[in-house]
Amino acid sequence: MVIAEVKDVKKIYTTQANEIHALDGLSLSIEEGEFVAIVGASGSGKSTLLNVLGALDKPTSGEIVIRGVDIAGLSPDGQTIFRRRNIGFVFQQFNLIPVLNVYENIVLPMKLDGRPIDHEYTERLMSALGLLDKKERLTNTLSGGQQQRVAIARALITKPAIVLADEPTGSLDSRTGTEVISLMKILSEKMHQTLIVVTHSDTVAQMADRIIRIEDGKVCGGK
């Protein structure tokens, strides 16, 4: 079943000198439960695609349909609510809150949305990611790999339909990066979630079910 569909999406940034077509009539569809790697050169439109899929940015034209909802047509408040309840994010720089401990960082999306915390699920998630014995520690006392695991737990805590990851191994060494992606893949399979990863890493891309190549704001190939 198709969970996400991008239909003829354009994203144009206007400067004083010219127009930049970050996405130029891009279309693709992603199946529920797929692990998709999005690859391409810098400036090809990969991160822009992730931003519009995650309702962090609005396309200039076209449709972004997730779970049957055209999120591009939602109001800003509607996009925020949809994003909190359906999409998890993992960023290269982790984006953790340094004054909060591991547990507080993980459950933060639930608190922001005013939803009750499933403590049993939270413990299982932390256990799967090797974080149970670190739940009281401040995140800046952890290694890079451990901080990325906290970010993954935070992305999964709301049980989202889709997890979007922008260069999640970019700040990690190759061994730790491979471990992190392996964990993300295992957890997404267990929870029947769709995983979409933007990456420059051939190793990460080869772990995916499908590779989509972006060039000049368009899909130019994939497997």
CATH number of the CATH domain containing 211: 3.40.50.300
Mean of all residue pLDDT scores within the chain? 90
Is 95:88 a contact under the CB 8 Å cutoff? no
Residue 222: pLDDT band by 50, 70, 90 thresholds? low
Q: Which ranges in 87-173 belong to alpha helices (H)?
A: 102-112, 119-128, 144-156
> How many separate domains does the chain show?
1
> What is the distance between the alpha carbons of residues 96 and 103, in angstroms, rounded to a whole number?
11
Residues 6 or more apart in contact with residue 18 via CB below 8 angstroms: none
Domain encompassing residue 19: 2-222
Residues 6 or more apart in contact with residue 145 via CB below 8 angstroms: 172, 176, 179, 180
Average pLDDT over residues 207-212: 94
pLDDT tens, 71-87?
Answer: 999 999 999 989 988 99
